[in-house]
Copies of this chain bind each other. A is one copy, B any other.
Amino acid sequence: MAEKKSDRTKAAIRTAARAVFASVGYERATIRDIARAADIDPAMVIRYFGSKDGLFADSASFDLSLPPDLDEAPNLAGARLAAHFITVWEHDDGGFAVLLRSAASNPVAAAQIAAVLGEQLLPAVAALVGPQDAPLRAALIASQMLGLALTRYVLRLGPAAAMSHDEIVAGIGPTLQFYLYGSLKP
């Protein structure tokens, strides 16, 4: 009974939902589309997840899982952060793409992004630079990382999507390093 039919159906719905939400966003994604992608009946979606909102909440989960030892080599923190972000984004099951694709027009997705930044990025930054100007520095880091993800994975702008991992680390790493430890005095 570890392999019930219902489990496989539910997993198929979940996989299809992540793909559809990530590619067209919450509003344009329909339960019919998702059911067709999962090759099941639309009524099954409601049966297993209650509503479209329930399915979206299930699909739109994301964890930054920042490395806890960034302070061991402060001069490498920026580069390590940049490399970590792209690795997590390209290896998670699509939860981040779901969130970012819908965040601009869906308050639930926007709130979840805000929660990830506030509960994971901000404490990590505060641990490195102290609580004093951690909010400002974390906001700058978030703006750069979300902007990269937006242009590369969501808008898929040519040059941004074409960058290699090494080019990203070489470009974004020094920026994050500056946002962590540079002088931000106006």
Say whether A100 contacts B105, CB under 8 Å.
Answer: no
Tell me if A179 and B184 are in contact (CB < 8 A).
no
A147 at the interface (CB under 8 A from B): yes
Check if A154 sits within 8 Å of B104, measured CB to CB. yes
Please report whether the interface of chain A is mostly helix, strand, loop or mixed according to DSSP: helix
A172-186 to B contact mask, C-beta < 8 Å, 1/0: 101100110010111
Question: Does chain B have a CB within 8 A of A160?
Answer: yes
- Interface size class on chain A is 35 or more
B186 and A166 within 8 A (CB): yes
The smallest beta-carbon distance between A80 and chain B, in angstroms, is 15
Does A57 touch B at the CB level, under 8 Å? no
Q: Considering the chains assembled together, what is the distance between the CA atoms of A104 and B105 in angstroms?
A: 9
Q: Could you say which of A5-13, A44-52, A133-141 contacts chain B? A: A133-141
Q: A24-B105, A174-B178 are in contact. Are A147 and B143 (CB under 8 A)?
A: yes
Q: Quick check: is A145 within 8 A (CB to CB) of the other chain?
A: yes
Q: A residues near B, CB below 8 A?
A: 24-28, 100-105, 110, 113-114, 117, 135-136, 138-140, 142-148, 150-152, 154-155, 157-160, 163-164, 166-167, 169-172, 174-175, 178-179, 182, 184-186
Nearest 6 A-B pairs (CB), nearest first? A147-B147, A25-B105, A27-B27, A166-B186, A139-B159, A135-B159
